[in-house]
Homo-oligomer: A and B are copies of this chain.
């Protein structure tokens, strides 16, 4: 525990990240580990074993170790992982050491909820601008931010160095909004509208579609129902196993 070397992360000379190539599946799980670590840290834990952290994150412990090994060796055999150090490492890899500016387009039902969500701020993001096309909404004040007209997007995006945009408009407007975001220099988009977006290759899009989530659950309900007719009525209701469903 003597030297608390961070590998080559902060304080490095060249400070070149140059992640080899973290598996996509791994980076999708890092945020979950991070959340679990924060919980554990608040609980007063100094170190945590892979088994413990895996349980807190709802994954297999071997998978967790392999994931973390991709970042480097930040654990101590026989002891576990230093919680604070690991938090720092994951936050660095995810680029959360700097608070990232986010803009939100479409301040309707969903947009209102998102604008008022404090879970963003506590996890590395700051909503710095709200946009809408409806003149009736422009000027409205939400959680300390004034809704601006979508035409101002480009100007504000540059001014505030916004790299991430959230789309919460109806599906019909989403592609047009995406185009405007891209034109304004945004290179990452989180899309809540149920539609496919076309964007240049250097722009990342992630989509959240609640109806799809429900439909997947519906399928499993359908399947489960079709098996109810089986003998051996008692279902395999185990102890309290986490039912992990693909990312």
Q: Which residues of A are in contact with B by a Cβ distance under 8 Å?
A: 16-19, 24-25, 27-28, 30-32, 34-36, 56-58, 93-96, 100, 102, 109-110, 112-114, 116-117, 119-120, 123-125, 163-164, 187-190, 194-226, 235-238, 240-247
Q: For A123, list chain B residues within 8 Å (CB).
A: 211, 214-215
| C-alpha gap A187/B95 in the complex (Å) | 37
Work out how many copies of this chain go into the complex: 2
Contact A120 B243 (CB under 8 A): no
Q: SS class of chain A's interface: helix, strand, loop or mixed?
A: mixed
Q: Whole-angstrom distance from the CB of A100 to the nearest CB of chain B?
A: 6
CB <8 Å contact, B210 and A34: no
- B residues in contact with A213, CB < 8 Å: 190, 206, 208
Residues on B with beta carbons closer than 8 Å to the beta carbon of A217? 164, 188-190, 204, 206
10 A–B pairs (Cβ distance < 8 Å), ordered by A: A25-B246, A35-B195, A94-B219, A109-B116, A110-B117, A188-B221, A190-B217, A204-B220, A208-B210, A247-B247
